[in-house]
A and B are shown apart, each in its own frame.
Chain A
Amino acid sequence: MRKIILVMFFCAFLFIISTSLNSVYAESYTTYESIIFENEGIVMLDSWSYLIESSYMNKLSKGKMFGWNVFYSYKKEPFTFISETLYHVKNSGLKEITHTFKYEESEELQIQRSVKGNLEVGLDYTKEQKKISKFKFGLESKLEFEYKETSKNKTTKTDTVKIIIAPNSELFIKVQGKGYLYQGVAKKYFLFITTKSGGFEYCIITTEYYSIDMTIIDQSLMEYER
């Protein structure tokens, strides 16, 4: 009898933990200047309302003894994005300057993940001691990836390009790109009791495009010089 009560207490404890946490973890793609989907109607994970989340949760198949149940609301949805400015240099002087711009190893991950509820994303290390982020508690292996990332992605190895910055101008190196988004909800069960529950989202960046964009700081100054 005492054992049964202990098991019930343990289950109740797991249930409380599973339902009490509702945080959002998001990697840097959520801070992009803009993300435009080819298809309409996609709401990103961090903007989900209670209604959206519960409608997806209802589509999950019934509980099970152990393991994960996963429902995908979207799979491989193509999008384009404008990222934050990669590089910014200001030349307030009245003479042009030459600047060496360095493409450094990208800190961006090729596969970027977000979670809601009490799902978690954690950093792991590969055999080569490289950092890699993963959905925790075994969810990673339950999800579909066309491509398995095994280490942080590189752009090109510290590569340089010389650019002349016009007088009274600001140089911006901007990044645009494209990729695919996957999104859904997942629940983890232990003895038919939900222990983990929430929304997940991951996007796979396939290509980045770079552009030089220089703007005159003070147009009146240029006119004054004339």
Chain B
Amino acid sequence: MIRNHGQKFIVILIILSLITAFIFIYLASSKYDDVPILSVKHEYNMVFTSKDDCLDIPLYIGRNNTFISNYEEIESTSISNMNYTLISYLESVEMGSKIKYNNQDYYEFIFSLSLSSYDDYNEPIFLSDGLFNINYKNGERLSFKIGNLSLFFNTGIINYNDLIIMKLNAVMNEVDYLETIVGINLSLYNNTNDDVTLNKIEIKNKYYGLDYMSFEFGLIDSRCNLKERDSSYSYIDSLIRNGDMNLVIRKEEIKDIFIPLKYINGIKYLNRFPLYFTYKIGEVTYNSIQDDFLFSSSKSILNSNGIEKYVYKYN
């Protein structure tokens, strides 16, 4: 009887010891849990019109209290690809919304980068498959895929007032399960004392462009499905255009046009870009830029198709 009690006591003791050890191991390991991080591959089309303009890069981090998002812990940042490194200064890191993705909570952190070392004299920078690199004071270096960047530096663009945009909106369609821009409605006002001949309206990006030679007079419904309107319509095109629109806008006239937007290799999520105008007054050719306009904002940022998941493992 006594022996039986002794055995029971030992068994209970072993079980309790195992439970205690398990709790200790769990607590110790949870302190150094892996941290999941999401980056979104995006199409960055920006014109830097002042030194205060920043490039905002969001990262979604599984915890809100790690060194990864701590401004004080960051030594330097850069954006690079195989051929080029963009010099940037980290202005701030701000926490945004908390979101859920694949049943995991993530905290949005917006890393605002200043590109103030670039000015008007800099050539435009096109950076495909860009990586956002963060060097930390603790010696860690993390890199995240952020998509393609098309960056223009022009603080003096607003001097060109010959053509004024009276109306601008995007026509958006769902293509390949992705709602993206497939055209723009544009009203242009001739603010000069002469006739203006509009020749080109471009985005200047190698993955998509405005099919300005196929422009139509008049504005269309921003919810118009271009494929339903014309079953032979294609959202994808090689988009090699050499011609000019030759659209004459008389003095103080307003012209309404719709211009389709075509993708070259495949559909991308696009919500913001500038417009580059080439036009003639008399025999003189001018170029002007409309600052990048945010056409749409999806409330579920992570609905876009280019999400990259990383896991940071504590040593």
Residue positions of A touching B, CB distance < 8 A: 80, 96, 98, 103, 110, 126, 128, 147-148, 150-157, 159-167, 169, 176, 204-215, 222, 225-226
Contacts and interface: CB of A to CB of B under 8 A. Distances in A.
Contact of A128 (B95, B161, B300): B95
A212 B300 contact: no
B291 A128 contact: no
Interface residues of B, number: 44
A164 B161 contact: yes
18 contacts: A96-B164, A96-B191, A128-B64, A128-B98, A151-B96, A153-B97, A154-B96, A161-B291, A163-B291, A164-B158, A169-B166, A209-B222, A210-B169, A210-B293, A210-B297, A211-B222, A214-B187, A225-B252
A96 B166 CA distance: 12
B165 A156 contact: no
A207 B299 contact: yes
Contacts of A212: 165-169, 293
Contacts of A204: 299
A213 to B, nearest CB: 6
Contact of A166 (B166, B291, B299): B166
A207 B179 contact: yes
Given A154-B96, A212-B168, A80 B223 contact: yes
B299 A208 contact: yes
Interface in B121-169: 157-158, 161, 164-169
A213 B167 CA distance: 5
A147 B303 CA distance: 12
A74 to B, nearest CB: 20
B66 interface: no
A211 B168 contact: yes
Contact of A214 (B56, B165, B222, B295): B165
Given A156-B56, A212-B167, A214-B167, A206 B300 contact: yes
A215 B112 CA distance: 35
Given A176-B222, A207-B179, A207-B297, A161 B292 contact: yes
Interface of B: 49, 53, 56, 64, 94-100, 105, 108, 110, 112, 157-158, 161, 164-170, 172, 179, 187, 189, 191, 222-223, 251-252, 291-300
Given A150-B97, A208-B299, 4 more contacts: A161-B292, A207-B299, A210-B295, A214-B165
B274 to A, nearest CB: 9
A110 B100 CA distance: 14
Contacts of B105: 150
B170 A209 contact: yes
A214 B166 contact: yes
B100 A164 contact: no
A110 B299 contact: yes
Given A211-B167, A211-B169, A214-B167, A157 B292 contact: no
Contacts of B251: 226
Contact of A159 (B98, B157, B294, B300): B294
A88 to B, nearest CB: 15
Contacts, number: 112
Nearest to B303: A206
A151 B98 contact: yes
Nearest to A176: B222
Contact of A164 (B108, B165, B170, B187): B165
Nearest to A214: B166
Contacts of B158: 98, 162, 164
Contacts of A98: 158
Nearest to A126: B98
B294 A103 contact: yes
Given A205-B299, A209-B170, A209-B172, A157 B94 contact: yes
Nearest to B254: A216
A119 B192 CA distance: 60
Contacts of A207: 179, 296-299
Given A156-B56, A162-B158, A166-B164, A206 B299 contact: yes
B294 A161 contact: yes
Contacts of B298: 206-207
Contacts of A80: 223
In the A-B complex, the 4 residue pairs with the closest CB atoms: A211-B169, A150-B98, A212-B168, A214-B166
A126 B97 CA distance: 11
B161 A157 contact: no
A160 B53 contact: yes
B9 to A, nearest CB: 44
A164 B164 contact: yes
